[in-house]
Amino acid sequence: MKQQYIMALDQGTTSSRAIIFDKGGNTIAVAQKEFPQIYPQPGWVEHDAMEIWTTQASVAAEVLLKAEIDGDQVCAIGITNQRETTVVWDRETGKPLYHAIVWQDRRTSAYCDELREKGYADTFRKKTGLIVDAYFSGTKIRWILENVDGAREMANKGRLAFGTIDSWLVWNFSKGQLHITDVSNASRTLLYNIHTMSWDQELMDILGIPASMLPEVRQSSEMYGYTEATLTPYRIPIGGIAGDQQAALFGQMCTEPGMVKNTYGTGCFMVMNTGDKIIESSNNLLATVAWKVNGKVQYALEGSIFIGGAVVQWLRDGLGIIRSSGDVEQLALSVKDTDGVYLVPAFAGLGAPHWNQYARGTAVGLTRGTTAAHLSRAALESIAYQTVDVLKAMEADAGIRIAELRVDGGATANDLLMQFQSDVLNAAVVRPKITETTALGAAYLAGLACGFWKDMDEVRTQWQQDRKFEPQMEDAQRTPLLKGWKRAVNAAKAWANDSND
């Protein structure tokens, strides 16, 4: 019997990756391809859905070569994906009607305002756990139906399929045999009732979306079907699907109520496991489905920060201050502090707990002495400050003090950021040995489905700490820093308010 492995496909906002894991949860091989971001006009963000598919399929084939294994050695594939990003395609041709509209896209903001003015905000909140915002898939689907020639007629005839990126990948891997999603991705659409765990007809009617477009909703860990001669001559089982933040929560083994993780990716996403209870937030956080495994649903409380690591990409691509993202730490360390500079990276509006879709990026406290190093340090610190805002809201909703934050994602390699995060949170920040927790979560879900791992207990033993950052800052220093951040956020909101007068 040849040795078996799990393949995780991690389809992110800026790149498609494939990772092979062994039974110990160790990374055997990784393949990755970046793809272009499309910005047709301010506030609009798109991807070429065909490019997402081709890059993901090519890294999946490449990672098998790198690991020197055959398709029959893959016990199952687990898929994790950028959430809310919306693809609508023709069932007959398999071709997308329009570019994928990315989660960061703000084109439906005015329509969201209309929904709120009509008094629908509470209906959506109660049923989906979400707020009415351009971030989620529902209003993006409607935009395609309203704005692409012939789309509405095709939808009414049952010819169109909608999917978040997981559905789009599974459709292509299975050559159109499977049109499915999992509960975690469904719960981010504004169309899924998290109490009844089903698509909600009332919400579909409000948004004008026919039920025939929607995928079948499945568990996050089960044998869904097979790849059909797309990767290798072998039919490989697909056994796990979860939106990236839920996958990271699972990969961090935050499987007990009250456990919290923060992922530092393009955005930052803090998620707390709330067990079998839906906590309705009083502080502008989202109630969402964590996963469904072995017939059991677990819920979560989530705070979404739109611009996290993307602020470093902006320093690199937009300003040309650094050559590569890894250079930011050294540049930031060349000054002892930001010299009073705050950067609020509200490039796509402010997410939790502010939810101001009109706020825009703002830098305050600039002087003639401000350098690229001060701005770089302020950019890094903005990631930590935004995380504080979300954590405080989460503590208030859950009624508990969070003493430990498990962290993952690319930016956690930055020790300066992790230490500053611990300092301003006044809590321990714990980085695991494997920071690829999003892909690992998808691998665990697939591995549990195909029997690669026996049960959750076996998986739990694999989580290992790499480093624990403890707070080293006094209140006398922390308090004015947080006060300054609050003033900077208020400045970003004030700018937005004036623009809408």
Identify the residue whose tokens are 């993202």. 325
369 is in an annotated binding site: no
Measure the CA–CA gap between 422 and 431, rounded to whole angstroms: 11
323 is in an annotated binding site: no
Give the length of the chain: 501
Measure the CA–CA gap between 292 and 440, rounded to whole angstroms: 17
Q: Under DSSP, is residue 241 helix (H, G, I), strand (E, B) or coil?
A: strand
Task: Give the residues across from 76 on adjacent strands.
Answer: 6
139 is in an annotated binding site: no
Measure the CA–CA gap between 30 and 53, rounded to whole angstroms: 17
16 is in an annotated binding site: no
288 is in an annotated binding site: no
15 is in an annotated binding site: yes
State in Å, rounded, how far the first CA of the chain is from the last one. Answer: 70
108 is in an annotated binding site: no
245 is in an annotated binding site: yes
Task: Give the residues across from 88 on adjacent strands.
Answer: 162
58 is in an annotated binding site: no
Residue at 191: amino acid letter: L
Measure the CA–CA gap between 485 and 469, rounded to whole angstroms: 22
313 is in an annotated binding site: yes
Q: Which two tokens stand for residue 188?
A: 């981010």
**Cis peptide preceding 96, ω within 30 of 0:** no
Q: Within 13 A of 277's CA, how many CA atoms are on the CB side?
A: 10
Task: Give the residues across from 225 on adjacent strands.
Answer: 238
122 is in an annotated binding site: no
Identify the residue whose tokens are 């001559």. 233
Contact status, residue 144 vs residue 113, Cβ threshold 8 Å: no
13 is in an annotated binding site: yes
Contact status, residue 87 vs residue 247, Cβ threshold 8 Å: no
244 is in an annotated binding site: yes
Measure the CA–CA gap between 82 and 409, rounded to whole angstroms: 13
Contact status, residue 89 vs residue 100, Cβ threshold 8 Å: no
Give the containing element (helix H, strand E) for 76: strand 74-81
Measure the CA–CA gap between 51 and 414, rounded to whole angstroms: 30
Task: Give the residues across from 293 on adjacent strands.
Answer: 296
Distinct helix (H) and strand (E) counts, the chain:
16, 23
385 is in an annotated binding site: no
Measure the CA–CA gap between 232 and 301, rounded to whole angstroms: 39
In Å, the largest CA–CA distance within the chain is: 70
* Long-range pairs of 454-461 with CB within 8 A, sequence gap ≥ 24: 456/255, 456/293, 459/25, 459/253, 460/253, 460/255
Binding site for glycerol: what residues are annotated? 83-84, 135, 244-245
Binding site for sn-glycerol 3-phosphate: what residues are annotated? 13, 83-84, 135, 244
Binding site for ATP: what residues are annotated? 13-15, 266, 309, 313, 410
Binding site: what residues are annotated? 13-15, 17, 83-84, 135, 244-245, 266, 309, 313, 410, 414
Binding site for ADP: what residues are annotated? 13, 17, 266, 309, 410, 414
